[in-house]
Amino acid sequence: MKIVSRLSLLLVVLFFQMNVSTAQELSLTEKYKEQAIQHLSRLMNDFYVFPEVAKKTEEHLLAQWKAGHFDQFTDDESFAAALTTSVQEINHDKHMRIRVNPPYEAQPNTPERRIEERLDRLERSRRGSYGFNNVEILEGNVGYLDLRGFAGLENAQASADAAMQLMARTDAVIFDLSKNGGGSPRMVQYLCSYFFDQKVHLNSLYWRDGDETEEFWTLEEVGGAKMPEVPLFIITSDRTFSGAEEFSYNMQTQKRATLVGQTTGGGANPGGTRRINDNLNVFIPVGRAINPITKTNWEGVGVVPEIVATPEDALAKTHELAQAAAEAYRAETKKKYTQLFADLNSKLDHYTAGQSEEEILGQLTICQKVGLLGEGDINILGYEYLLEHKKPQIAESIFRANTLLHPNSANVFDSYAEALMMRGDLAASVENYQKAVDVAKENEDRDLELFEKNLANVKQKLSEGEE
């Protein structure tokens, strides 16, 4: 029993000594802290968007260092938090944060480390679905997107288009940015572009490097149907930050959306992460946002919503507002569509050969642009005038317009060719049946054999007529 007790006591002593030794090894040295503060100061002076603020921040850090303020912090986590507090005491920039590096295996500043960091970012984006956390259709035909981040457009465009495609036929849209910490200004620009059909100056970013200002305008084309008139609502919170604030501010200043929730976090200075040492990094803002309307931004003050709501009530309140807006939108859309149909019917009913063709094309173009008529709808309209109303010239004008609106569709050329054949213009019919076959081959159309058969039939008729 005594031998066991002595052995146990010895193990306890050895274990205690090992823990003390390990703690001493892990405890940050004065030299380590001094070098970290000096490197952090150089990074701020070299890159921070406001050089004079960077200098004042450096002076504050050095004064705290000399006063022994950082002696109490013995590990990287607490030291990083203390450095963040210190720099923000001077620059008040919520973007500038010091963090502990992830536990990478490869050595810093090596190709292997860069690959590891890149793969880590990709994996985090993939796990988070590039920020597209949830998209659904709520009651009242209201589209809802819970967006947790604005991922890089080069990786996340397909996800963005898929989400917008699901909401394309809704009568109001809610963007929930209450848990969105920001991200790529390119993705902000891209998603904003879905809600405008005209070229709009959304935001500008001033970059210290090069003393340049970059303008961000809406894009003419996106990967889906634009929704320029659909009511848009944005849910915000105090966690809404950076790029999410830009999206909200862009839409608010353009009077394109209604914001519901809380005042946002207040970070308008974009930048990137830079290495302090093997264990620490810092996000350095290297630019600032400049709104084209207000000539300022939301830095330090946040974006203030038009309708205040608690985080618990924000979604229900926004959905209620969106349902009412959707109902009004449907009524206005019905009124507009009724007038467009009336205008189209007037053009068709007052058809004059040689004069009305371009007017019909113009009216069908408008109807297609607003989503009233698609390729199939126009084709059906053509057959109505061809077969039911017995007005082949009007039908030809409709079919011809469809070929101009959808030049990559074999079916529209086939229909136009059929109308020409029925009127006896076999040469023009052959030309368009041939076009249908050519397009079908290029697109690997499953109806290629049918188009080829139709072409052969009209060629036979043309040959017999010539004999």
Mean pLDDT of the chain: 91
Whether 63 and 172 share a structural domain: no
User: What pLDDT score was predicted for residue 106?
Assistant: 63
Alpha helices, H only, 350-447: 356-369, 375-383, 392-405, 410-423, 426-443
How far is it, in rounded angstroms, from Cα 280 to Cα 370?
Answer: 53
- Give the lowest-confidence range in 6-15, 79-88, 255-264: 6-15
pLDDT one-digit tens code per residue, 194-209: 999 999 999 999 999 9
416 occurs within a structural domain:
yes
Q: Could you tell me the CA-to-CA distances from 434 to 64, 314, 459 in Å, in that order?
A: 82, 58, 10
Nearest Cα residue to 247 out of 231, 228, 232: 232
Structurally, how many domains does the chain consist of? 3
Of all residues in the chain, what percent carry a pLDDT higher than 70? 89
Instruction: Report the pLDDT averaged over residues 35-43.
Output: 97
Q: Which two tokens stand for residue 127?
A: 């796990």
Whether 311 and 397 share a structural domain: no
User: What pLDDT score was predicted for residue 19?
Assistant: 42
Give residue 51's pLDDT band: very low, low, confident or very high (50, 70, 90): very high
User: What pLDDT score was predicted for residue 376?
Assistant: 96
> 367: which residues sit within 8 A by CB, 6+ positions away?
340, 341, 344, 373
Q: Residue 415 is part of a domain; what is its CATH number?
A: 1.25.40.10
Instruction: Report the pLDDT averaged over residues 165-171.
Output: 97
407 occurs within a structural domain:
yes
Whether 279 and 354 share a structural domain: no
97 occurs within a structural domain:
no
Whether 278 and 406 share a structural domain: no
Domain endpoint, select from 278, 306, 324 = 324
pLDDT one-digit tens code per residue, 404-448: 999 999 999 999 999 999 989 999 999 999 999 999 999 999 999
381 occurs within a structural domain:
yes
Nearest Cα residue to 286 out of 37, 36, 51, 41: 51
User: What pLDDT score was predicted for residue 370?
Assistant: 85
Site of tokens 């030049």: 407
Instruction: Report the pLDDT averaged over residues 53-71.
Output: 96
pLDDT one-digit tens code per residue, 383-414: 999 999 999 999 999 999 999 999 999 999 99
Whether 132 and 256 share a structural domain: yes
User: What pLDDT score was predicted for residue 121?
Assistant: 61
User: What pLDDT score was predicted for residue 110?
Assistant: 74
* Number of other CB atoms surrounding residue 320 within 10 Å: 13
Instruction: Report the pLDDT averaged over residues 80-85.
Output: 97
Is residue 143 a contact partner of residue 195, using CB atoms and an 8 Å limit?
no
User: What pLDDT score was predicted for residue 4?
Assistant: 44
Q: Could you tell me the CA-to-CA distances from 218 to 130, 187, 188, 201 in Å, in that order?
A: 21, 11, 10, 7
Q: Is the pLDDT of residue 95 over 50?
A: yes
Q: Is the pLDDT of residue 5 over 90?
A: no
- Predicted TM-score of the model (pTM): 0.80
Domain endpoint, select from 76, 92, 108 = 92
100 occurs within a structural domain:
no
Whether 152 and 266 share a structural domain: yes
Of all residues in the chain, what percent carry a pLDDT higher than 90? 84
Is residue 364 a contact partner of residue 405, using CB atoms and an 8 Å limit?
yes
- Give the lowest-confidence range in 106-110, 156-160, 166-170, 196-200: 106-110
Q: Is the pLDDT of residue 21 over 50?
A: no
pLDDT one-digit tens code per residue, 111-121: 766 676 666 66
Domain endpoint, select from 306, 324, 342 = 324
User: What pLDDT score was predicted for residue 102?
Assistant: 81
How far is it, in rounded angstroms, from Cα 276 to Cα 34?
Answer: 12
Whether 320 and 355 share a structural domain: no
User: What pLDDT score was predicted for residue 24?
Assistant: 36
Whether 87 and 122 share a structural domain: no
Whether 199 and 157 share a structural domain: yes
Whether 312 and 377 share a structural domain: no
User: What pLDDT score was predicted for residue 125?
Assistant: 56
User: What pLDDT score was predicted for residue 6?
Assistant: 47
User: What pLDDT score was predicted for residue 108?
Assistant: 65
**Which residues form the domain of 45?**
20-92
334 occurs within a structural domain:
no
Partner residues linked to 233 by β-bridges = 174, 258
Give residue 263's pLDDT band: very low, low, confident or very high (50, 70, 90): very high
pLDDT one-digit tens code per residue, 273-290: 999 998 999 999 999 999
DSSP codes of every residue in 189-203: HHHHHTT-SS--EEE
345 occurs within a structural domain:
no
How far is it, in rounded angstroms, from Cα 204 to Cα 189?
Answer: 11
Whether 392 and 309 share a structural domain: no
338 occurs within a structural domain:
no
How far is it, in rounded angstroms, from Cα 79 to Cα 23?
Answer: 16
